[in-house]
Structure 1
Amino acid sequence: MPTVIEFDGFLNAIRCVIDCPRRLFTARFLEMDASVKDIIQRDIEYIQDVGQILENETVQNKVVYNLIVEYVYKKISESKTRATDNLDWNLVEYFGLMSTADEESGPWNRLLSQDHQLIRFVDNEGCESIMFYVEFSDFLVAVQLGVSWHD
């Protein structure tokens, strides 16, 4: 889906702005070729091959939003500014665009209207990330946000 590709590029730009030297901010399109649980399990197995799972739980949408604030907005600006307001709108709007493209008369924004599976992990190079999954009618979007990293 083109919107997911655009969102991935948007997250990459955010990564550059907050001076993350590694590609730890991503969005991936995952076809619903199995159950949501099975798709996420494949990611977990891959992560366990290249690192360690620190946390794996289902969380409310507000928890994910607060993580975006913590790991994106606060790294860009200590205070709320017009720029962070615009960034906030764009991050949330991408999920609204994907929701509308998926089902025009469906949920307005699936980031805000559902709970999400959240995985916190450390890769084999010691970089920590969170990943959360947003479910659509026949696909998932896996969003990774870097939490800590080194050069």
Structure 2
Amino acid sequence: MSELFIKDIRRVALENNDTKRFSKHLLREGRYSFSLPEGWDVESINNFNSDIDVNFNNNNNIYGNISIIDGDLESFCENITKEKDSTEIFDEGSYRWNVITLRDGQHINKYYLRKYSEGKILILKFSYYNNKEKDSIKTVFDSIAISFS
């Protein structure tokens, strides 16, 4: 019963953000994939410092980036923020995400980070204006993060 309730809340949160369906995107000849809400734009960028580096946006007020880089997760998290209270843990399936939220005046940067493979980190960064934040946007970001494979 609780699983049905959670699915209903998730559906309402997605609809609250004008998100009804997700589109799957393939990178590097299908080696990587992730899903974004329909209507969002994606631009693949080749970067020699990372396995992938992809920018995306919702054509309105949310801009994002997905990258895989060499490094240590704990050190990378500490470089982003020294404040432990800005970091939360998000467990989904077999993955544990470190979610860091940084507020800088009018902007919010939200980082989803997890170990990807030996010595590599998967980073999803979402940037948006402080006055455009909805509590339910976290559900959209969570959905994008867990779709990466």
- TM-score (ref. length: structure 1): 0.43
Task: Identify, as 1 or 2, the structure richer in strand.
Answer: 2
Higher relative contact order (CA 8 A, sep 6+): 1
- TM-score (ref. length: structure 2): 0.44
